[in-house]
Structure 1
């Protein structure tokens, strides 16, 4: 677990660390914002294409084989990124890093489900929560410091030794935990899944970027083609004897509730975590480093609390964590939807801390509870479904947040007597941000209604795999 967690942490760290460097990279490589955005879009797109296949890969290759390929891809990608002297080289590096992460995250979840007994799974999943939440949170702050005093290359030079250490620890201690069933590989399923998930993630990512937004032909075409391919993919999986992604996981009601909780958390986090730094920098005129520093306490606390929430879940079940957690999130977002340029930094930091504590009460307990209901042979498929749909929800959340922000700003500036004045621009940014937080609050309230259906899954020992 230590080797998986170290590598997961470094991978997630470099995913967000680069976001702070984007404006810096636009100057260095002389590229437009839309081109630079590909460093993030390409990463998400690779994850969206690879994640659906992880269920199949885990039945074909051993834990060690997948771990070594994942780490080799991450290390080579990070090394190329550290040496990159043009945009194309950095882009290739990002794709290789995404391949590493796309294999590692599902592997981490699957290993926990097999290795840990149900009554200890919450705490173990909590450590994954620490990686998934704390690493992306420290990324922008550390990157802000690195860019201020060194060059952006050092973001990757810093990550490299940790990945090598993770690989060495894994080679020494990691055991093969999954049983190989080697199901038939169906090429049509792989093609449909690639076009389907890839098209949807690409379409929504593109909608969040360009000037044309949702009206762009590329956006509409990729989402429509993606959705058609997904419908065909789902139909094919239902009628196959050995499906690539086993949709029988949707027969388990707590898995569905857990999945919906995770997707709502993903949308809340991504919509607020994209808008908040933009608001702090463009609305309140703070530097990138100061904005990163303000968001650090909440995100760090979320990561630190994740293992604790996991232990509380093991002891008391999900209901007493998830429902109060979503209530806290809804209250914080309601306050966020009323922030103005006169709001103090202390207020924003406090609200962000409350938001992240609430999320830590919801995410891992509902995810663990959902996966607990699956029989062991569906573990790889359950983790593949959850991780894939998280990428899709992330792309949708980001695109919707950006378009709500843009529409709010345009509406304000359209009615403004002096739309080019800095104060008016800041006021427009405030109105757009308020609208995004209001959208996130509605998502939370829907999640809260669903949360009342959550109940603790009792795992029968007889249903455990022979590994125990």
Structure 2
């Protein structure tokens, strides 16, 4: 049973975490802007300040008797592995959630409503599969779900690099649904398995760490992949004989999205490698 505590609010930790996570997300968000990109002082200074503040935040949590987020939870190997795996998967997930609507609306000229309908089946399927993967996790353990899930993710990300402006909408719906299946096989089992290895006193901290890093990694993933898309689009237009043509603008967008999905494919391969090391975690004895 978790012990109820009443720690005081650590104002300095709140400030450091805000500067740390906020600075990193802000830096990645501005990396794809028109002027400067990654070489812009606004970008690299934000990343430097954010990284420094985050390191100070981690140091303060390790030294504090009542930490806001107890980093000692990372002493559990399966929790650490699951956290890194979830970060990678969340970055790929949020990037796809942004890139596909951009392709559908700006490349294939769909309305926002039509693009939302294309994305709807995958989102609904992801929600429906959560209880199913929970039961499968209890019966077969994490490896039977996470490893096949990352393989599905690799295949789907590779197929996303092959889509064009003339790809049928049904194909995109199918790929998005397959991605949702893969994500359902990864997210809940990995998160549950990681938390299972924590001592009871670390349960609240482990949950808070995972929730925080999921949101932050999703924001960074969106910013990171959008910046890659923007860079790929600019590179295509720089080599185009008619960069002002609407058709060329659409082709440039498609080229930029292909580049982003290729990077997403690399992330999926990294997730697969991490999944090979996952083991069923047992709750420590009290």
Q: Same fold (TM over 0.5)?
A: yes
Displacement after TM superposition at 1:206 (Å): 3.3
Structure 1 CA distance for aligned equivalents of residues 11 and 224 of structure 2: 33
- Give the 3 Å change call, closer, same or farther, for CA 213–395 of structure 1 in structure 2: farther
1:258 corresponds to: 82
* 8 A contact 2:29–2:227 mirrored in 1: no
1:247 corresponds to: 71
- Give the 3 Å change call, closer, same or farther, for CA 311–208 of structure 1 in structure 2: farther
Structure 2 CA distance for aligned equivalents of residues 190 and 418 of structure 1: 51
Per-residue CA distance 1:215-260 (angstroms, 9 max, x = gap): 3333322221111111112222222233222111010001011111
Structure 1 CA distance for aligned equivalents of residues 206 and 282 of structure 2: 17
Task: Describe how 1:299-378 pairs up with structure 2 within 5 A.
Answer: 299-378=123-202
Residue 230 of structure 2 is aligned to residue 406 of structure 1 = yes
Structure 1 CA distance for aligned equivalents of residues 114 and 10 of structure 2: 50
Superposition RMSD in Å: 1.7
Larger CA deviation: 215-224 vs 429-438:
215-224
1:267 counterpart (91, 94, 105): 91
Displacement after TM superposition at 1:391 (Å): 2.4
Larger CA deviation: 379-388 vs 206-215:
206-215
Displacement after TM superposition at 1:285 (Å): 1.1
* 8 A contact 1:272–1:436 mirrored in 2: no
Task: Describe how 1:157-196 pairs up with structure 2 within 5 A.
Answer: 179-196=3-20
Task: Describe how 1:136-175 pairs up with structure 2 within 5 A.
Answer: none
* 8 A contact 2:3–2:201 mirrored in 1: no
Task: Structure 1: give runs of 5+ residues left out of the alignment.
Answer: 1-113, 115-177, 464-468
TM-score w.r.t. the length of structure 2 is 0.94
Residue 277 of structure 2 is aligned to residue 453 of structure 1 = yes
- Give the 3 Å change call, closer, same or farther, for CA 348–185 of structure 1 in structure 2: closer
Displacement after TM superposition at 1:184 (Å): 4.6
Task: Describe how 1:432-443 pairs up with structure 2 within 5 A.
Answer: 432-443=256-267
Q: Matched residue of 2:123: which SS?
A: helix
Q: Which has the higher contact order (CA 8 A, sep 6+)?
A: 2
Structure 1 CA distance for aligned equivalents of residues 249 and 34 of structure 2: 19
